Amino acid sequence: MKEFGLFINGQWEAAKGGKTTQSINPATEEPWATVAVADREDARKAVAAAKKAHDAGVWRGTPKEERAEVLRKIAAGIGERAEELAAAEALDSGATIRKSTLADVPSTADTFLKFADALMADEEETVFEEAAPVPSRNIIRKEPIGVCVGIVPWNFPMLMASWKIAPALAAGNTVVIKPASNTPVTALLMGEICSQAGVPDGVVNVISGPGGSIGEELASHPDVGKVAFTGSTEVGRRIMQLASGTVKKVTLELGGKSPNIILDDADLDTAALAALFGTFFHQGQICESGTRVLVQKDQYDTFVEKMIAGSSKIQLGDTMDMMTSMGPLVSKTQYDTVENYVGVGKDEGAECVLGGSRPEGMEKGYYYSPTIFAGVDNKMRIAQEEIFGPVVSVIPYDDEADAVGIANDSMYGLGGAVWSQNEERALGVARQIETGTVWINDYHLLNARFPFGGYKQSGVGRELGAWGLHEYQEVKHIHVGENVPADQKIYFGMLFN
Ligand code: NAP
Ligand code: MG
């Protein structure tokens, strides 16, 4: 069994209380690693380490060229340990080794590379000469915020940790990362990789422990300047409350119920596979999954049949087998949530035309079959609430305007897609969708150069790219006035006679 401590101030440590827990492999339900469990005292210690490093200026005082170089070394460090990281991600979270090798590891490394680029393209200081109201030179300066906290979910543990660490480092901050209790290992390893790449001690700290205690401690700690959170909308609301006590900056990336709109001129064969890829990739445990597939009513039955046929190409199995394309859900809790929602869908009168149960012959592991609901009305709970499993609702629409109306009739606004052979038409629809990302003729493709985040209750702020970098910066205006005697400071006349 592998063992992992907490990563604080550049070194591995046991939790102060000595507590540990076992991380479960969701494919086998067997423990595969022992991990230290931090308590509030450990959380305060991690914040203190981050604050000390910030105050000492060991990182924010490093020239940006050097900071960018360290980010690139982190990317290289991830590449060097690719196999170890891919395996740990699969064992910890139930990702297939195929996904962790082909997507998670390279995307995580790429996040550091793209933030190195974003940093180099960002102007640290911009100078404006102004004549009004008096002649002055105006310096607009970007500075780090200080201690940033990143609270990370279990669906993409390593990638989501990189989305918090990379921009924080690029902008010159120090960080404390709290991974999800189910999936702590790869985030912890990232702490070590950052350190080995030359990040000074105390700048990146990673501690695993319960959200209800250490998550709350971190999100309310007075020395923390910013909290970045990815997870459920419910906990997101709580984070906002906790952060409000000391008016911290907050970015939130929350739930979704994203529309995948199949226009009537789409290539239906491709779109049907896309509808499956949009919902069943990583067992549907993706915040921007296209869980509401909108299909024109004349094409509806044909389309549902194509989806059912296409699902036979999905292979469930051992996550460590490169041929497996779909693994288990992350936990028993998540399995129960999915099972419960399938019951809700049936009770609401939707028709379960595929799946709806544990796959036959798979007794061990939190596996759930790809599940398709037809005859779904957008008002149903299965169309409004995030399920976070392999369950897709196929919803009929009358015409384009109706499709847009249904797409936007959601408290969420994270992702979505439009499928059409007419790009202009698809663009016209994409512009009307109230979500932070819209794909045309693609799904799930994120790029660390471009912003990601949600409208409405899917979030606050944006991650990735220049937009993501700015969320980790304070902006200072330095006004440099003329060095002239009082009688030339004309505005003094408003007070002095
Ligand atoms: P969650 O509770 O929102 O967990 C996300 C992170 O927040 C974890 O690190 C968790 O720690 C932490 N946390 C929990 N309560 C906290 C609190 N009071 N203060 C500070 N941090 C706290 O998500 P979940 O319960 O694991 O999953 C529930 C649902 O959330 C899913 O079914 C799905 O709908 C949604 N979800 C969305 C995303 C996304 O990418 N947007 C990702 C995951 C889940 P612990 O692990 O220690 O509890
Ligand atoms: Mg686990």
Q: Please report whether residue 448 resides in a domain.
A: no
Tell me if 390 sits within 8 A of 370, measured CB to CB. Answer: yes
Residue 401's alpha-carbon distances to 261, 398, 432, in angstroms, are: 12, 8, 10
The minimum-distance atom of ligand 1 relative to the CA of 209 is 47
Q: 204 and 336: one domain?
A: no
Query: Catalytic annotation on 253?
Result: yes
The minimum-distance atom of ligand 1 relative to the CA of 210 is 47
Per-residue tokens: 472: 């980790």
C-beta of 212 in contact with ligand 1 (< 6 A): yes
C-beta of 210 in contact with ligand 1 (< 6 A): yes
pLDDT given at position 372: 99
Which of 152, 232, 238, 387 is the pocket-test mutation for ligand 1 (most atoms within 8 Å of CB)? 232
Q: 337 and 350: one domain?
A: yes
**Domain at 297, CATH number:** 3.40.309.10
Rounded-to-integer distance, Cα 45 and Cα 359, Å: 45
CB-based contacts of 350-356 (< 8 A; 24+ apart in sequence): 350/374, 350/375, 350/376, 350/377, 350/380, 350/382, 350/393, 351/375, 353/304, 353/308, 354/307, 354/308, 354/311, 355/311, 355/390, 355/391
Tell me if 198 sits within 8 A of 208, measured CB to CB. Answer: no
> Of 281, 221, 269, whose CA–CA distance to 245 is shortest?
221
- Domain containing residue 172: 2-254+458-477
Residues of the chain with pLDDT under 70: none
The minimum-distance atom of ligand 1 relative to the CA of 256 is 41
C-beta of 43 in contact with ligand 1 (< 6 A): no
C-beta of 149 in contact with ligand 1 (< 6 A): no
C-alpha distance across the termini of the chain, in Å: 81
Q: 44 and 183: one domain?
A: yes
Q: 209 and 268: one domain?
A: no
CA 216–ligand 2 middle distance (angstroms):
22
Q: 46 and 103: one domain?
A: yes
Structural domain tally of the chain? 2
Residue nearest to atom 12 of ligand 1 (CA): 211
Q: What are phi and psi of 386, to 5 degrees?
A: -75, 125
Q: 72 and 171: one domain?
A: yes
CA 25–ligand 2 middle distance (angstroms):
5
Which of 47, 151, 176, 177 is the pocket-test mutation for ligand 1 (most atoms within 8 Å of CB)? 151
CA 492–ligand 1 middle distance (angstroms):
55
Residue 44, CB-side half-sphere exposure with 13 Å CA sphere: 5
Instruction: Identify the active-site residue in 253, 400, 434, 471.
Output: 253
pLDDT given at position 151: 98
C-beta of 180 in contact with ligand 1 (< 6 A): yes
Q: 248 and 299: one domain?
A: no
C-beta of 31 in contact with ligand 1 (< 6 A): no
Q: 237 and 224: one domain?
A: yes
Which of 413, 440, 467 delimits the end of a domain? Answer: 440
Q: Please report whether residue 451 resides in a domain.
A: no
Q: 120 and 168: one domain?
A: yes
C-beta of 232 in contact with ligand 1 (< 6 A): yes
Q: Please report whether residue 445 resides in a domain.
A: no
C-beta of 152 in contact with ligand 1 (< 6 A): yes
CA 38–ligand 2 middle distance (angstroms):
16
The minimum-distance atom of ligand 1 relative to the CA of 152 is 9
pTM, entire model: 0.98
pLDDT given at position 132: 82
Q: 25 and 165: one domain?
A: yes
Q: Please report whether residue 485 resides in a domain.
A: no
Residue nearest to atom 29 of ligand 1 (CA): 232
Instruction: Identify the active-site residue in 194, 287, 288, 434.
Output: 287
Q: 333 and 220: one domain?
A: no
Which of 235, 286, 382 is the pocket-test mutation for ligand 1 (most atoms within 8 Å of CB)? 235
**Domain at 26, CATH number:** 3.40.605.10
pLDDT given at position 133: 85
DSSP annotation of 359 reads: P
Q: Please report whether residue 495 resides in a domain.
A: no
Residue nearest to atom 6 of ligand 1 (CA): 153
Q: Measure the CA dihedral 155/156/158/159, to 10°.
A: -160
Q: Please report whether residue 446 resides in a domain.
A: no
Q: 267 and 162: one domain?
A: no
Q: Please report whether residue 487 resides in a domain.
A: no
CA 186–ligand 2 middle distance (angstroms):
11
CA 235–ligand 1 middle distance (angstroms):
6
Q: Please report whether residue 497 resides in a domain.
A: no
